[in-house]
Amino acid sequence: MRRLLKIFVWTAVAAIGAVLLYCAGRVFLLDSFIVDGDSMEPALHRGQKVYVNKMLLGPRIYTDYDFSSPDMHCFRIRGFRSMRPGDVAVFNYPYARSRDTVSFRINHVYVKRCIGAPGDSVSIVDGYWRNSRCTGTIGCEEYQKILSETPDSVLAVQGVVLDASQVDRSGGWTIRSFGPCYVPRKGDRIEMTEENWRQYRRLIQYETGSSPCIVNGQVCLDGKPLESYAFRGNYYFFGGDNVLNSRDSRYIGLVPEAYVVGIVAGGKDNKQIL
């Protein structure tokens, strides 16, 4: 009887240890996700499993486990490197609960390619991605060529949304002609013109909890004039390789670094990663 009890105890300990190791591995080392959609074709396909290397950007550690809340509280352990344009990443969709307010939902994630990292300026010129510090093509040149050469009327019939609605600008950016859009990094101070207010107002609300507004032509925050704003965190511009069918930063705007789960293992450039 005593021997059976000892076997049971050690089996239970081993099982608990295995579960803890598995959970720790998912938090600190590697996690997996299944692609649902064709926004990353031809690099990734629907139903394909992708692995996120948590050690590259650094594992994200929650400090509040109330996942019913729209607010996320976490910190990130320093990783081996920063994210670069061309990396593929998994991130929480920042407007999962509200179309106009950054909010968190734990299992609502997207996989896209980083087009702009903190400090970059992103543009679309005649359908092609452009980054201020990169040369050459980012993402899938084949799809960008189709976007560049196909008439608007044909794209509209195919269901392609041409208007880039990530910012409510009067200028009218489209997925064929866009930007430049500056991607803020922590500590950057940006002048709060009315144009910049339109572009960054949702990020300022996310960081401060208050929504900036225009009063008599002046940008104001909490009733006080806001001449400039210093960002408290880093942001990223993400895009799908299938630029004809991808809900990405052209439409939803910039993504806070806290919402980034991590960098997909082997997801550099245009190659299939697994």
Taking residues 149-178, what's their average pLDDT? 84
Domains, in order of start, for the chain: 31-183+233-264 (2.10.109.10), 189-230 (no CATH)
pLDDT tops 80 at residue 268: no
- Where is pLDDT greater, at 167 or 54? 54
pLDDT tops 80 at residue 128: yes
Contact by Cβ (8 Å): 228, 189: yes
Q: Check residue 172 and give its pLDDT.
A: 82
Q: Check residue 270 and give its pLDDT.
A: 35
pLDDT digits (tens, 9 = 90+) for 216-260: 989 999 999 999 999 999 999 999 999 999 999 999 999 999 999
Q: Check residue 218 and give its pLDDT.
A: 94
pLDDT digits (tens, 9 = 90+) for 106-121: 989 999 999 999 999 9
Taking residues 38-58, what's their average pLDDT? 95
Residue 118 tokens read as 């903190």
Q: Check residue 21 and give its pLDDT.
A: 53
